[in-house]
Amino acid sequence: MTVFSHAAAKVVHHAARITVASALPALAMLFTLSVSHPAAAMNIQQITSPGGIKAWLVEEHSVPLISLRYAFDGGNSQDPPGKEGLANFITAMMDEGAGDIKSEDYQERMEDIAMRMSYDDSKDSLYGSFETLSKNRDKAVELLKLSVQKPRFDQDAVDRIRQQLLANLAYADKDPDKVAMREWFAQAFPDHPYGRSANGTQQTIAKITRDDLADYHKRTFARDNLKVVAVGDITAAELGKMLDDVFGALPEHADLIPVSKTEPVKGGSQKIIEMGVPQSVAVFGLGAMPRKDPDFMAGFVVNHILGGGGFSAKLMEEVREKRGLAYSVYTYLQPYQLTSILVGSVATKNASMAQSLAIIKDEMKKMAENGPTPQDLQAAKDYLTGSYALRFDTNSKIASQLLGLMQEGFGPDYVENRNAMINAVTLDDAKRVAARLFKPENLVVTIVGKPVGMNSAATPPLLQPAAAVPGRG
């Protein structure tokens, strides 16, 4: 679920609760412990519960806190046609009562023991997050178990959350960044679940019923598509018992709708959605190599040099630093289970969008033709290897990072080997992969605003040579 919609749902629902005040000290303690006491050097254990559920565990007993991250394959690509937004809807419903406990009582019990639980959806997975103080583990695990196995989906809660989601959609429709990203996926992946709106539309959310939510839960919450990571004050034996308690009663097999592999459309396209805003927002992107492709790590490095490295990136230097056209411009490499993309964004004055996109295209072309310099490559490798440890500086970050690796099919040894893989990227590798990755003629571009001198076209103006734009030699 989106950050805004989840937060809005909970703020609206709990604004009048006096019980929140009594829980604040414990909640503050939970937050402090999770952010200020990182796990020590990791020993990643691969465990199997007595019931056969596999998980990764990092024990850290110096802090009385347990963090659990889990995912069920499926995500919003499992939304049936005409019911887009269903996975997002269910993420808002999973703490709205479970078992014999109705919504208000359930959430008051969570607050009383400083338990944190939330759900989120992506194109490929539905994620769960759980944190508890060790002393409250038994009570917290019981509430988690009920949520996972027996969410209530009471009609009054469904109706209330639906209204909040509809309000969020109305808000998002006025946000050029959200509209640009949503419409980029629709343009890049027509006739594929990846191209559908993850949050749904006013029409689809209005049609989702309690039975739809229960059916999604039944189809996707299963043991064979479950991945789990635990970090904190718990032993392997204790975790095994906990896994069976929380997940053991789920169906053995998920019943997922088959979804085919896909790629963004090729050949270049451009779409403009008019919105009366003072500056336009553009999202641009194209296909990239899969996560397990031997060239992925080199692609990750060269993308960092082009647009992923903040103020050190070439796009930031050319678009912002030299010309002052935009506050921010960036790109990132995003692998999914069924495709992989390189996507970026820039926001600038309506009168400057055409020039900004032409510079972006020109920088891509230069990187494809020449590759990075030895100095740029070394600086990128130094940063990427040096900053990697920051992904593991709290228990919750460790759990999230390891869950991602598990989902991508890597083993625990990836953490030890990752920096060596970065350092193994040679200049020849970087040049070869840059030529493979950066193909500006395939850019899919979505612009929201009123850009001057631009029109939607299958062969957009930005794909023409940008020789007239001053740039590096």
Sheet with 279-287, strands from edge to edge, namely: 269-274, 444-449, 279-287, 340-349, 326-335
Look at residue 39 in the predicted model and tell me its pLDDT: 40
Q: Hey, do 3-247 and 269-463 end up sharing a CATH topology, with the first three levels equal? A: yes
Q: Of 94, 369, 339, which Cα lies nearest the Cα of 213?
A: 94
CA distance 286 to 331: 11
For residue 457, what pLDDT is reported?
55
Phi/psi of residue 140, each to 5°? -65, -40
Q: Global pTM?
A: 0.88
d(CA 235, CA 396): 17
**Which H or E run includes 125?**
strand 125-133
116, containing H or E segment: strand 116-121
Task: Return the DSSP state at 224.
Answer: T
Per-residue model confidence as pLDDT tens for the chain (473 residues): 333 333 333 333 333 332 333 344 444 444 444 544 444 468 999 999 999 999 999 999 999 999 999 999 999 999 999 999 999 999 999 999 999 999 999 999 999 999 999 999 999 999 999 999 999 999 999 999 999 999 999 999 999 999 999 999 999 999 999 999 999 999 999 999 999 999 999 999 999 999 999 999 999 999 999 999 999 999 999 999 999 999 999 999 999 999 999 999 999 999 999 999 999 999 999 999 999 999 999 999 999 999 999 999 999 999 999 999 999 999 999 999 999 999 999 999 999 999 999 999 999 999 999 999 999 999 999 999 999 999 999 999 999 999 999 999 999 999 999 999 999 999 999 999 999 999 999 999 999 999 998 976 533 443 333 332 222 23
Domain 3-247 class, CATH top level: alpha beta
pLDDT, position 92: 98
Phi, psi torsion values for 380, nearest 5 degrees:
-65, -45
Would you call 153 helix, strand, or coil by DSSP? coil
Alpha-carbon distance of 80 to 73, in angstroms, equals: 15
Partner residues linked to 272 by β-bridges: 447
Span 269-463 CATH architecture:
2-Layer Sandwich (3.30)
How many Cα atoms within 13 Å fall on the side-chain side of residue 166? 13
Query: Parallel, antiparallel, or unpaired for β 269-274 and 444-449?
Result: parallel
CA 7 to chain CA centroid, Å, is 16
Give the C-alpha separation, 16 to 38, whole Å: 35
**Distance (Å, rounded) from C-alpha 263 to C-alpha 190?**
10
Residue 106 backbone dihedrals phi, psi, to 5 degrees: -60, -45
Establish how many alpha carbons lie within 13 A of residue 295's alpha carbon, considering only the half-sphere containing its beta carbon. Answer: 18
The DSSP result for 281-348, as a single string, is EEEEEEE---TTSTTHHHHHHHHIIIIISGGGSHHIIIIIITT--EEEEEEEEEE-SS-EEEEEEEEE
What tokens does 263 get? Answer: 């790629």
List the structure tokens of 364: 């891509």
Pairing state between β 44-48 and 54-59: antiparallel
Per-domain residue ranges of the chain: 3-247, 269-463
Please state, as a whole number, how many other Cβ atoms lie within 10 Å of the Cβ of residue 15.
Answer: 8
